[in-house]
């Protein structure tokens, strides 16, 4: 151990073994004295003489002992403890003052920590898989479509030829099956994965085994791996390995159960099936299923290098065997990007906003402390005069602030904990990772760091204005007269900054509120009242043929329509606001064929006759599908966005033909018979994409959404709808049955939530800024009472005093307002991503903000102004 460290360590031990040290030194001094006395007696002195002599010779015993022990102490630490005690005493002496500071800090720290927890969990925390930084997600891209499925052929070529990856695994979501034979029939959802999926995610089996390479080969036996939660809910946690489960009428042998608490992209997976069941063995490069690839990059490979490598392999394949997909390329993203989704902009906006609130809180606390430091000038001056060094005083001030900040931090973490529970419960995040957000070590460290930072920042202001003007401070009679000019200036600056920040926050929240209002009044583009959505998935086992599926849905719809409580009914594959259920290429027959990379993409779907009438989506031209479309020439309906891209008016589109799949893919040519208005595909604040529909009868899916417009309250019809379904097929589970009201309300939930939070922050900012403005003006007025009295004595009227103080207030607020508006306009660039329907530099919003801030300032300045004009000149002048 080096001597420096050894000394330090000895002090640590000294702290613990203090008593033993003290005893040793005291004993040593005593024995020293006794030996001295002994020697003196031996020289011939009387014992009394010897003792006196020895004491004199030894010197000050007490000081010797103390100085010997001093070297074992942490001098700094002990003075810190002293400062801390002093600081806590100060907090108790001024309870109201301390409470305001504490509350301000707790709110700032708490809000920041809560939002940061969400940001950290969703955006920053490493993914829970081995080597998360090297995991990538791979799809194919072709022309304008990115992330489409990878073909088996391409995947096999990549696996065999690429050196950029340590491991690659295929997965396909949405292997949904109806489970029978375990109580009520139920809809279950599974994924198909290749065997490397499990080593990639690092998951282990809680029982049995996971897939091996043999399970990837075609002709693999029908096996199944269950998730822990499905094993619990479906099989009651009973011994499962080796059991047979019946899914869609086929038996699968359970070979393993996964460990609990693992998930990948989708929290609601019930089971995993091996790829061998679906992979035919034929490596056709153009046969798209629905597989995507997750892979781990080889050590030191970048995403770009890996993509270039995969693209090279695709290009080689295209040269060796030209085909329709020669322009396909790899689409490679870091897995974290895929997992984190598109919450980024919203979360960073909230983080920025809450950061500004924290800055405001710091500024307010600094300002309050500055105000108080004026009062404490004399105390400090006296301490300085009796020998406390400047460093010592600064240390004491900072310690006091840090003590306050520490308390604020503790309360803040408590607030953050509550706030977080609320955020998780109420937030429409749709992010599974958020469920496991907790105030764990990294977040507590963040809160602690934040607290220290906040304490230092707000504690620095009073220190900065502390000059060595001891004499002046001691000579001054009154603590306020002329004192702390520098402090006043600094507080003025702080208030200007506070107003500016508030303007930015209020501006942003007003923009979001206006966006929300616009999005809401824009509406979803169809009639959501009294409308039910019944989702069904017909199992391939019981409905193997297109005819059986068509017949089922047609019977269901006609039975529904026969009831009096149903106004109308129909079905589509993917109703409005359901999101992106699939897109495909198309091209317009008779137009010059687009280049391979330019083939347009549209959402595509199927619809039964009358579906748009039931939805209340207006027809712009032509007609809906009818019964005759089943047998007649192939037809399509397009939405207004698609029609307006190619034709001047909707009517011009009627009679034109589109080629499904575009010029480079197989697909039929269909005639446009109708153009319907745009309805929200995901949510009212997302612009519509081109979309086209084919008649359900021409391509009867098993997976449809039946639309039911009821006569009365839709909730009351729900049991009747369920009964109808089970009358038709008792083994068919209802996938979902909801009122559109709920669905549509959900589409704006994220926007509503972030708007709400941002508005909350803006209100907090307004309150903090109001307190700041009030505090500074109040101090300004009380420092100028004599000046006001003199002005009054010299004949100034109340209105002129009012004007004088008012001018000061207006200067502070005006400068802050100007600065804030400049900042807000600068920030509007980043707000563009979250604003809908209003310009990010919307003048009405700006006007509203200016008005709001002026009102705030007037409110905050009111009391100080009244105090100023209420000064009793005679009494004030006699007092001085």
Partner 1 sequence: MSTVDDPPERLEFLQGTLEVLVLRSLAGEPNHAYGISQFLERQSNRAFAVDNGSLYPALQRLLQRGWITAEWGKTPNGRRARYYTLTRAGREQLAEATSRWERFVEAMGLILVPEG
Which residues bind to partner 1, rule: CB under 8 A?
1, 3, 6-7, 10-11, 24-25, 27-29, 31-32, 34-36, 38, 58-60, 63-65, 67-72
Token pair for 522: 């824009």
Query: From CA 354, how far away is CA 758, in angstroms rounded?
Result: 8
- DSSP assigned state of 266: B
State in angstroms the smallest separation of the CB of 50 from partner 1: 14
Nearer to partner 1, 67 or 722 (CB): 67
Query: From CA 722, how far away is CA 415, in angstroms rounded?
Result: 45
**Within 13 Å and on the Cβ side, how many CA atoms surround 607?**
28
State in angstroms the smallest separation of the CB of 46 from partner 1: 19
Nearer to partner 1, 32 or 392 (CB): 32
Nearer to partner 1, 22 or 49 (CB): 22
State in angstroms the smallest separation of the CB of 48 from partner 1: 20
State in angstroms the smallest separation of the CB of 426 from partner 1: 58
State in angstroms the smallest separation of the CB of 21 from partner 1: 9
State in angstroms the smallest separation of the CB of 7 from partner 1: 5
**Within 13 Å and on the Cβ side, how many CA atoms surround 781?**
24
Cβ atoms of 751 and 838 within 8 Å: the answer is no
Query: From CA 852, how far away is CA 845, in angstroms rounded?
Result: 10
Q: Report the run of H or E that residue 620 belongs to, with start and end.
A: strand 619-622
Helix (H, G, I), strand (E, B) or coil at 467: coil
State in angstroms the smallest separation of the CB of 354 from partner 1: 48
Nearer to partner 1, 11 or 623 (CB): 11
Cβ atoms of 131 and 300 within 8 Å: the answer is no
Nearer to partner 1, 29 or 546 (CB): 29
Sign of the torsion formed by the C-alpha atoms of 235, 238, 241 and 244: negative
Nearer to partner 1, 60 or 726 (CB): 60
- DSSP assigned state of 534: E
Helix (H, G, I), strand (E, B) or coil at 672: strand
Token pair for 836: 């809908």
Nearer to partner 1, 9 or 422 (CB): 9
Sign of the torsion formed by the C-alpha atoms of 792, 798, 803 and 805: positive
Nearer to partner 1, 6 or 217 (CB): 6
**What stretches of 233-291 adopt beta strand conformation (E)?**
244-247, 250-258, 271-274
State in angstroms the smallest separation of the CB of 1 from partner 1: 8
Strands 601-607 and 691-695: parallel
Nearer to partner 1, 41 or 613 (CB): 41
CA geometry: angle 194, 196, 197, nearest 5 deg: 70
Nearer to partner 1, 26 or 848 (CB): 26
State in angstroms the smallest separation of the CB of 74 from partner 1: 13
Cβ atoms of 580 and 587 within 8 Å: the answer is no
State in angstroms the smallest separation of the CB of 11 from partner 1: 8
Nearer to partner 1, 71 or 548 (CB): 71
Cβ atoms of 234 and 179 within 8 Å: the answer is yes
State in angstroms the smallest separation of the CB of 386 from partner 1: 25
Token pair for 654: 């009627």
Cβ atoms of 867 and 775 within 8 Å: the answer is no
Sorted by sequence, the CB contacts under 8 Å of residue 217 that are 6+ apart come out as 276, 279, 281
Nearer to partner 1, 25 or 517 (CB): 25
Strands 165-180 and 186-193: antiparallel
Query: From CA 737, how far away is CA 865, in angstroms rounded?
Result: 62
State in angstroms the smallest separation of the CB of 59 from partner 1: 5
The b-or-e profile of 740-761 (16+ CB within 10 A means b, else e) is beebbeebbebbbbbbebbbeb
State in angstroms the smallest separation of the CB of 2 from partner 1: 10
Nearer to partner 1, 60 or 268 (CB): 60
State in angstroms the smallest separation of the CB of 30 from partner 1: 9
From residue 679, alpha-carbon distances to 56, 571, 692, 695, 874 in Å are 103, 16, 12, 18, 75
Sign of the torsion formed by the C-alpha atoms of 626, 631, 632 and 633: positive
Nearer to partner 1, 64 or 682 (CB): 64
- Which is nearest to 728 in space by CA: 531, 542, 533? 542
Cβ atoms of 576 and 641 within 8 Å: the answer is no
Nearer to partner 1, 5 or 238 (CB): 5
**What stretches of 416-555 adopt beta strand conformation (E)?**
531-537
- DSSP assigned state of 171: E
State in angstroms the smallest separation of the CB of 80 from partner 1: 21
Q: What's the CA dihedral at 569, 574, 575, 577 to 10 degrees?
A: 160
State in angstroms the smallest separation of the CB of 486 from partner 1: 39
Cβ atoms of 502 and 436 within 8 Å: the answer is no
Nearer to partner 1, 67 or 723 (CB): 67
Query: From CA 272, how far away is CA 264, in angstroms rounded?
Result: 12
């Amino acid at each position: 151990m080096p001597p420096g460290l050894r000394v330090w360590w000895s002090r640590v031990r000294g702290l613990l073994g203090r008593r033993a040290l003290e005893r040793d030194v005291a004993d040593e001094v005593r024995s020293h004295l006794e030996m001295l006395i002994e020697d003196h007696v031996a020289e011939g002195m009387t014992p009394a003489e010897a003792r006196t002599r020895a004491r004199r010779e030894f010197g000050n015993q007490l000081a010797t002992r103390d100085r010997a022990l001093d070297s074992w102490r942490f001098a700094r630490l002990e003075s810190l403890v002293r400062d801390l005690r002093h600081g806590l005493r100060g907090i108790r002496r001024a309870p109201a003052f301390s409470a305001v500071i504490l509350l301000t800090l707790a709110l700032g720290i708490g809000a920041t920590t809560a939002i940061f927890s969400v940001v950290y969990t969703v955006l920053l925390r490493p993914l829970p898989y081995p080597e998360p930084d090297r995991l990538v997600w791979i799809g194919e891209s072709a022309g304008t479509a990115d992330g489409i499925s990878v073909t088996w052929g391409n995947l096999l070529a990549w696996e065999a030829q690429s050196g950029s990856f340590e491991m690659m695994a295929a997965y396909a979501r949405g292997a949904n099956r109806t489970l029978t034979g375990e109580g009520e029939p139920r809809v279950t959802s599974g994924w198909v994965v290749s065997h490397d999926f499990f080593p990639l995610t690092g998951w282990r089996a809680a029982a049995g085994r996971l897939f091996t390479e043999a399970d990837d080969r075609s002709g693999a036996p029908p096996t199944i791996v269950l998730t822990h939660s499905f094993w619990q809910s479906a099989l009651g946690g009973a011994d499962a390995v080796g059991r047979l489960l019946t899914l869609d009428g086929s038996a699968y042998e359970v070979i393993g159960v996964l460990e609990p608490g693992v998930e990948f992209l989708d929290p609601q997976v019930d089971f995993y099936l091996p790829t061998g069941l679906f992979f035919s063995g034929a490596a056709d490069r153009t046969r798209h299923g629905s597989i995507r690839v997750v892979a781990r990059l080889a050590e030191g490979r970048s995403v770009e290098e890996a993509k270039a490598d995969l693209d090279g392999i695709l290009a080689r394949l295209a040269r060796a065997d030209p085909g329709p997909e020669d322009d396909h390329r790899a689409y490679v993203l870091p897995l974290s990007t895929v997992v984190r989704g598109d919450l980024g902009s919203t979360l960073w906006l909230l983080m920025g906003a809450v950061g500004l609130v924290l800055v405001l809180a710091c500024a307010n606390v600094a300002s309050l402390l500055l105000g108080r430091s004026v009062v404490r000038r004399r105390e400090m001056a006296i301490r300085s005069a009796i020998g406390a060094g400047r460093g010592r005083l600064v240390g004491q001030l900072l310690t006091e602030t840090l003590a306050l900040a520490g308390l604020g931090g503790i309360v803040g973490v408590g607030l953050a904990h509550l706030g977080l529970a609320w955020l998780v419960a109420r937030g429409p995040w749709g992010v599974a990772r958020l469920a496991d957000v907790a105030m764990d070590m990294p977040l507590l460290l963040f809160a602690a760091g934040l607290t220290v930072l906040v304490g230092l920042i707000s504690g620095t202001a009073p220190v900065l204005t502390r000059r060595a003007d001891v004499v002046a401070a001691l000579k001054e009679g009154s603590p306020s007269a002329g004192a702390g000019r520098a402090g006043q200036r600094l507080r003025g600056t702080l208030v200007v900054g506070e107003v500016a920040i508030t303007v930015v926050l209020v501006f942003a929240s007003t923009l979001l509120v206006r966006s929300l209002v616009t999005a809401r009044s824009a509406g979803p583009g169809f009639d959501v009242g009294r409308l039910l959505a019944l989702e069904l998935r017909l199992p391939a086992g019981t409905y193997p043929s297109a005819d059986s599926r068509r017949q089922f849905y047609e019977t269901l719809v006609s039975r529904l329509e026969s009831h009096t409580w149903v106004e109308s009914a129909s079905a589509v594959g993917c109703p409005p606001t359901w999101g992106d259920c699939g897109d495909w290429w198309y091209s317009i027959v008779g137009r010059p064929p687009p280049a391979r990379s330019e083939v347009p993409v549209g959402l595509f779907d199927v619809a039964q006759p009358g579906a748009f009438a039931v939805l209340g989506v207006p027809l712009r031209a032509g007609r809906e599908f009818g019964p005759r479309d089943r047998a007649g020439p192939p037809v399509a309906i397009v939405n207004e966005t698609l029609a307006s891209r190619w034709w001047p008016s909707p009517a011009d589109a009627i009679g034109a033909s589109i080629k499904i799949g575009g010029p480079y893919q197989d697909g039929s040519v269909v005639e446009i018979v109708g153009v319907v208005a745009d309805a929200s595909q995901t949510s009212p604040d997302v612009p519509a994409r081109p979309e086209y529909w084919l008649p359900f009868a021409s391509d009867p899916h098993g997976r449809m959404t039946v639309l039911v417009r009821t006569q009365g309250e839709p909730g009351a019809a729900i049991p009747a709808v369920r009964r109808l379904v089970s009358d038709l097929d008792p083994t068919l589970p209802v996938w979902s049955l909801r009122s559109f009201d709920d669905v549509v309300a959900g589409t704006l939930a994220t926007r509503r939530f972030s708007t709400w939070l941002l508005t909350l922050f803006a209100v907090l900012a307004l309150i903090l800024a109001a307190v700041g403005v009030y505090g500074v003006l109040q101090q300004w007025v009380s420092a100028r009472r004599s000046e006001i009295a003199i002005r009054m004595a010299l004949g100034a009227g109340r209105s002129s005093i009012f004007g004088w103080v008012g001018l000061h207030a207006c200067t502070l607020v005006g400068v802050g307002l100007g600065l804030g508006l400049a900042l807000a306009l600068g920030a509007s660039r980043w707000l563009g991503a979250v604003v809908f329907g209003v310009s990010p530099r919307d003048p009405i919003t700006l006007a509203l903000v200016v008005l709001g801030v002026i009102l705030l300032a007037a409110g905050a300045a009111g009391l100080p102004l009244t105090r100023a004009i209420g000064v009793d000149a005679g009494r004030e002048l006699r007092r001085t």
